[in-house]
Amino acid sequence: MEALRNFFLPPAKTAVAEQYDTLFWFVHISSLVVTIGIVVAIIYFIIKYRRKSENDVTPVITHNNKLEVTWSVIPLIITLVLFGWGFQTYIDMTKAPTDAYEVNVTAQKWLWRFQYKSGASTTNELHVPAGRPVKLIMQSQDVIHSFFVPDFRIKQDVIPGRYTEAWFQAREPGESIVFCTEYCGTDHSNMLAKVIVHEPEEFAQWLEDNSGAATKPTDLAPADWGEQLVQQNACATCHSTDGTELTGPTWQGTFGSEEQLADGSTVTVDENYIRESILNPNAKIVQGYGQVMPSYQGQLNDEQINAIIEYIKTLK
């Protein structure tokens, strides 16, 4: 059974995922058994009751109480069992334990941002401890997204203007992929993230090491920190650093150049323009590109924005 499950489904890395899979296989195997039974019965009746001569006359049969009750009661019992089983599994999947560790999740085109109680913040990497329930409190900054981790069998829409929740408890360290399963625009298929499950002690150390992520490390130059911030905020999803055309303008050789805007005017790419583009990206749209960039207002402080600008300056 384990080999069959692994062949058709992703690994089940939570207890709830195993409940889900057991119900999944019960539905499919019982349906297969019923289907085979019906096909066998049809073939049997075709052979047994086929016309053997021109004088054969089909007998008139009005009804059979035992048969009719049997084929009505048995499916009813199976349906009730599936409903009760499915409802209990649904409750287990949606009601988080009271001791769950909470992580705030923000979805936007086209990245996932995770905020921890310690002050740590990550982009496209969700770090969690093994063996402890984790509750995700999720919101969207633009359109509807959907948070889906196949290994955990959790899928929850993330909606602008309200909070939605999901939870899981990973049993052992490892990595799993997060997909967005609600079409959200041009780079929808690239809106990927990882769940990185740590041993509890390792997770506690990770929180301690990353609690000051908003402050520049003392051993890094501003441009190097800016490069780190660009990676953390998934800027490379839309902006290349080598001249490649993506959803947004390339950053290679951009600083100090003149850009043609959608309204026909031109702008010099300087510190003020880059800052405005980060905080209010729809104020000046480069010609040939759409209004798809989200605002980073409240997500990046002045020091971080300055570091990103210094990094862009190095991309000659």
Dist. CA 225–CA 238, nearest whole Å: 19
Name the amino acid, one letter, at 20: Y
Burial of 101-111, coded b for 16+ CB within 10 Å and e otherwise, reads bebbbbbbbbb
Average pLDDT of the chain is 86
Closest CA to 118 of 103, 134, 140, 133: 103
pLDDT per residue as tens digits for the range 279-293: 888 888 888 888 878
Say if residues 241 and 313 touch (Cβ distance below 8 Å).
Answer: no
| Residue-by-residue DSSP string for 39-57 | HHHHHHHHHHTS--STT--
- Start-end of CATH 1.10.760.10 domains in the chain: 222-313
Dist. CA 234–CA 220, nearest whole Å: 20
pLDDT per residue as tens digits for the range 185-226: 888 998 999 999 999 999 988 888 777 656 666 667 888 888
pLDDT per residue as tens digits for the range 82-120: 999 989 888 888 888 888 999 989 898 888 989 888 778
**SS3 letters for 247-279?**
CCCCCCCCCCCEEEECCCCEEECCHHHHHHHHH
Place of tokens 């509807």: 144
Closest CA to 191 of 110, 108, 292, 107: 110
Global pTM? 0.68
pLDDT per residue as tens digits for the range 28-42: 888 999 899 999 999
2-48+63-94 CATH:
1.10.287
Closest CA to 15 of 143, 171, 196, 163: 171
Supply the pLDDT for residue 187.
Answer: 84
Task: Say which CATH class 101-210 falls into.
Answer: mainly beta
Dist. CA 170–CA 101, nearest whole Å: 12
Please compute, for residue 222, the number of CA atoms within 13 A of its CA located in the half-sphere on the CB side: 13
Closest CA to 233 of 109, 116, 71: 109
Higher confidence at residue 236 or residue 189? 189
pLDDT surpassing 60 at residue 1: no
Supply the pLDDT for residue 117.
Answer: 82
pLDDT surpassing 90 at residue 127: yes
Residue 119's Cα: distance from chain center in Å? 23
Dist. CA 138–CA 191, nearest whole Å: 15
Element (H, E) at 13: none
**Which of helix, strand or coil describes residue 286?**
strand
- Start-end of CATH 1.10.287 domains in the chain: 2-48+63-94
- Start-end of CATH 2.60.40.420 domains in the chain: 101-210
CA distances to 71, 103, 115, 122, 200 from 128, rounded to whole Å, are 49, 9, 12, 12, 8
Strand-by-strand arrangement of the 111-115 sheet: 121-123, 111-115, 101-108, 134-140, 164-168
**Which of helix, strand or coil describes residue 159?**
coil
222-313 CATH:
1.10.760.10
**Which of helix, strand or coil describes residue 91?**
helix
Closest CA to 216 of 305, 299, 116, 111: 305
Supply the pLDDT for residue 215.
Answer: 62
